[in-house]
Structure 1
């Protein structure tokens, strides 16, 4: 039985803006010129949107592409993990604001932390976001649930984020609930739908992005209230293809530990932005031997499909995709699937004829 995951509320630590966060209004990231710590008199520099996940679904590419729009300012740290990580959250709102001070004056300000849609590990994230940023807009980008799991494994199995470096794929997927939970997209987005109307949530599919990045970026720009006519050059080039190629950066584990300790943020504050970005990109270009590929055994694939299928169908139905948009075939013998999906697999004609539109 899976652990129940939900959003919970906790008391604001010292330094948080609480109910004062909405003073700047929607569609603008600041009121007046920001000071070094991100504040302007009694007003605040605050994000107007968040990319809330999902992990290994293109959040890095989307973060970089949105940041190239002249009216959008992205957080100095791509994944501040502010609303998910308790120790980071306790640094307070003033610290979080300082990550946006360089972009004060932009029409939209945002960040991207995929931990915000991993409620089994970070159950307070959705509640904190809703309480602290009640007027924010949310972008959620997803992909086929099983390929997302495969991609995440190819990242963590070489030691990323401190997970076991030798545990076999099928064993790790079963022993770490986060692999399945992060792929339960309907469950994760429902935690935010409890607090935000649907017109403040934009769902993107990585498969659509790969086919037509320009159209998907235009959707983002319109959603964020910035000029939709801006064209981003080279939008189809992936910004974080390490796991897709089975590779990782040499210093990745060290960088993760430095980020957790706050060292990277301190270095960023005293380093000119162009120099910092140059160094970061050079580090990301250093590669090492290919990682092992994720390979499902039949029993684990059957189990995983049973875990994610109903959730996936509900998600696809609500967001206007055909129920066969994600192909789970081959379905291992004995896999328990809903009658609806069984009819899709066994019915006459093309499976694509069975679809559903958003209510």
Structure 2
């Protein structure tokens, strides 16, 4: 009989889900596989993201090294945005608990755009990418370009509430994790029925976003030729070169223009207000 995970970190992208998964994974009673984001529950119905684990056998194999007394969990940040993931979770493992991390949606969009620029996956400026978003969606572009749509959390959470019930969904806040990560981890552990683990470290952020000073150098680093050359060297040399590159070419992401932020926030304000009512949570600081 296939054993599916007890809990999922379902998103949203660029809301510190990697950090939360790392913190929870340090608990002795939790097992989270290290093999990226499986996205099994999106893959089985929508076949995207394209890197998803595509079979039940491969999915449950991710947890075969877990201790029988541990809770199994995994992080796939597009589950929340997916129109079918909640339905598939209900189908395969209806008792699964889901943890969602949410962030002010325009800040989330800007961070996501920056992340794609960092990885040379985006060629447009932020304003241009937002302007092109609807056309990209209509043309079937990958979810990663759905910058504003991915921040419309109300409809996304409703799918999970309808399929699994609100009692199986914990909503946490990026801002709280940034301010007091230990408290947020304690809340997540309580939701999972576990006591805090004193050995868990919550000081280090994971998968943070920077921007390249030189996009040309960034593209060169990611070219097939450089990748082939890099694999000729031992891991220690590659790690050292990566650290040197980060120091020389990657800079802290500049703040988003406040006027742009206010303009885009106004467009998302109706959804934020619906989210407030759904969660009975004051989100006026997201709109102000």
Please indicate the TM-score interval, normalised by the length of the shorter structure: 0.7 to 0.9
Indicate yes or no: 2:54 matched with 1:97.
Answer: no
Indicate yes or no: 2:92 matched with 1:132.
Answer: yes
- If each structure's helix is expressed as a fraction of its own residues, which one has the higher value? 2
Relative distance call for 1:229 and 1:126 in structure 2 (3 A) is closer
Indicate yes or no: 2:72 matched with 1:112.
Answer: no
1:139 and 1:201 in contact (8 A); partners too: yes
Larger radius of gyration, structure 1 or 2?
1
Aligned partner (choices 30, 48, 56) of residue 14 of structure 2: 56
1:187 Cα offset (Å): 1.5
Work out the CA distance in 1 between the residues paired with 2:19 and 2:53.
29
Q: Which residue is equivalent to 2:152? A: 184
Aligned partner (choices 126, 132, 138) of residue 175 of structure 1: 132
Higher relative contact order (Cα pairs below 8 Å, separated by 6+ residues): 2
Cα deviations by residue, 1:67-123 (Å, 9 ceiling, x for unpaired): 00000000232311222231666731000011111114243111111111223xxx3
Cα deviations by residue, 1:251-284 (Å, 9 ceiling, x for unpaired): 99689xx9xxxxxxxxxxxxxxxxx9x9999898
Indicate yes or no: 2:161 matched with 1:204.
Answer: no
2:79 and 2:85 in contact (8 A); partners too: yes
How many residues align? The count is 255
Q: Which residue is equivalent to 2:105? A: 145
Relative distance call for 1:149 and 1:279 in structure 2 (3 A) is farther
Relative distance call for 1:90 and 1:64 in structure 2 (3 A) is closer
Aligned partner (choices 316, 319, 326) of residue 279 of structure 2: 319
Indicate yes or no: 2:207 matched with 1:246.
Answer: no
The aligned runs of 1:1-359 (5 Å cut-off) are 43-85=1-43, 86=47, 91-119=54-82, 123-160=83-120, 163-165=121-123, 167-177=124-134, 178-226=146-194, 228-241=195-208, 243=209, 245-246=210-211, 287=246, 288-290=249-251, 293=254, 295-296=256-257, 298=259, 301-302=262-263, 304-326=264-286, 328-329=287-288
Work out the CA distance in 2 between the residues paired with 1:253 and 1:81.
24
Relative distance call for 1:298 and 1:289 in structure 2 (3 A) is same
Work out the CA distance in 2 between the residues paired with 1:323 and 1:206.
13
- For structure 1, list consecutive stretches of 5 or more residues without a partner in the other structure: 1-42, 259-275, 330-359
Work out the CA distance in 1 between the residues paired with 2:86 and 2:168.
14
Q: Which residue is equivalent to 1:268? A: none
